[in-house]
DNA sequence: TCATTAAGATTTA
DNA sequence: TAAATCTTAATGA
């Protein structure tokens, strides 16, 4: 395996306080791996042997319910750590991670987690900040599921993906990874049929433009309004 | 309001 | 061409 370039980690929150030498140490212990679209990086309940940092692509974090349906809990964007079971005092992964698009991730043996925390200033605090943000996101999504109408949940889900991964195009802002109507249904607790119907309607209204696995938000403001209006 | 069912069209591999 | 994805409409909880 070729030596990884230090610029890969420079400036990323968990490593921002480290000097060149420390980043070098960390990289020399890392393994880089490519993950094909749709393939699992790791699975819920399995031994949490490694933790990961996403360099490129997007990861869907999925949990399955007792009845077997899957729920998309959140997405991971480049630069973020994931699979950090150790930070949750767990020795198995709490969820399944699937490459939403072709992705590249670094990983380290989980046995190194404690020494990273002890040795590298800022690593622990930044990791726990990330964890806290994610818990908050999951929490507010759960609340939305229980209290908000489907239309608002779907609007909010689109906005969340656009905020995390949006790229500008001629028409508006495109969600930066492939996403099916069924995926959106799995994030919002509805069915692919309802998502399809909503997207068709919004397309007629000029709010979004979508093709298979691609969604462009052409009028973000109106989508924000839709995600908030009461009634 | 929304899930379910059904029956199809279209895109991709 | 088979499988995956998407669309639309009808029906009823």
What pLDDT, in 10s, does the model give residues A13-43? Answer: 999 999 999 999 999 999 999 999 999 999 9
> Distance (Å) from CA A136 to C1' C9?
39
3-state secondary structure of A212: coil
3-state secondary structure of A66: coil
Chain B footprint bases within 7 A of protein beta carbons: 1-6, 11-12
> Distance (Å) from CA A79 to C1' C12?
48
| pLDDT values of chain A reduced to their tens digit, one per residue, 231 residues | 778 999 999 999 999 999 999 999 999 999 999 999 999 999 999 999 999 999 999 999 999 988 878 999 999 999 999 999 999 999 999 999 999 999 999 999 999 999 999 999 999 999 999 999 999 999 999 999 999 999 999 999 999 999 999 999 999 999 999 999 999 999 999 999 999 999 999 999 999 999 999 999 999 999 999 999 765
> Distance (Å) from CA A57 to C1' B11?
23
> Distance (Å) from CA A138 to C1' C6?
28
β pairing state of A50-56 and A40-42? unpaired
Report angle CA A221, A224, A230 to the nearest 5 degrees: 130
pLDDT of A230: 64
Q: Per CA to C1' distance, which residue is closest to C5?
A: A212
- Nucleotide whose C1' lies closest to the alpha carbon of residue A211: C6
CATH number, domain A6-136: 2.60.120.10
- Nucleotide whose C1' lies closest to the alpha carbon of residue A204: C7
Q: Where do the CATH 2.60.120.10 domains begin and end in chain A?
A: 6-136
A187, A157 contact by CB (below 8 A) = yes
Q: Where do the CATH 1.10.10.10 domains begin and end in chain A?
A: 148-228
pLDDT of A17: 95
Residues at the strand B interface (Cβ < 7 Å): A 149-151, 189-191, 193-194, 212
| CA–CA distance, A75 with A89 (Å, rounded to integer) | 21
| CA–CA distance, A64 with A29 (Å, rounded to integer) | 32
CATH topology of domain A148-228: Arc Repressor Mutant, subunit A (1.10.10)
Residue A213 CB closer than 7 angstroms to strand C? Answer: yes
> Distance (Å) from CA A197 to C1' B11?
19
> Distance (Å) from CA A197 to C1' B6?
16
> Distance (Å) from CA A30 to C1' C3?
38
| CA–CA distance, A189 with A182 (Å, rounded to integer) | 10
> Distance (Å) from CA A227 to C1' C11?
28
pLDDT of A65: 87
What is the percent of chain A where pLDDT is above 70?
99
Chain C footprint bases within 7 A of protein beta carbons: 5-10
Residue A34 CB closer than 7 angstroms to strand C? Answer: no
pLDDT of A2: 74
A176, A166 contact by CB (below 8 A) = yes
H-run or E-run covering A187: helix A181-188
pLDDT of A67: 81
The DSSP symbol for A64 reads E
Report pLDDT digits (tens) over A39-77.
Answer: 999 999 999 999 999 999 999 999 998 887 899 999 999
A214, A169 contact by CB (below 8 A) = no
């Amino acid at each position: 395996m070729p030596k990884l370039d230090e610029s890969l980690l420079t400036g990323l929150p968990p490593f921002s306080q480290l000097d060149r030498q420390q980043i070098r140490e960390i990289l020399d212990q890392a393994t880089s791996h490519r993950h094909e679209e749709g393939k699992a990086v790791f699975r819920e309940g399995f031994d949490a042997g490694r933790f990961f940092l996403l360099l490129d692509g997007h990861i869907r974090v999925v949990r399955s319910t007792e009845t077997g349906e899957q729920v998309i809990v959140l997405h991971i964007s480049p630069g973020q750590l994931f699979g950090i079971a150790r930070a949750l005092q767990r020795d198995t992964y709490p969820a399944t991670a699937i490459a939403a698009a072709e992705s590249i991730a670094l990983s380290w043996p989980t046995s190194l987690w404690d020494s990273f925390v002890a040795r590298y200033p800022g690593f622990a605090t930044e990791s726990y900040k990330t964890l806290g943000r994610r818990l908050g996101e999951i929490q507010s999504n759960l609340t939305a599921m229980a209290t908000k109408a489907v239309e608002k949940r779907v609007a909010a889900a689109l906005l969340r993906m656009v905020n995390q991964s949006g790229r500008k195009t001629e028409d508006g802002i495109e969600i930066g990874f492939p996403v099916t109507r069924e995926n959106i249904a799995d994030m919002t607790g509805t069915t692919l049929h309802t998502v399809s119907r909503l997207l068709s309607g919004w397309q007629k209204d000029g709010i979004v433009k979508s093709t298979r696995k691609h969604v462009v938000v052409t009028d973000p403001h109106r989508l924000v309004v839709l995600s908030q209006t009461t009634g």
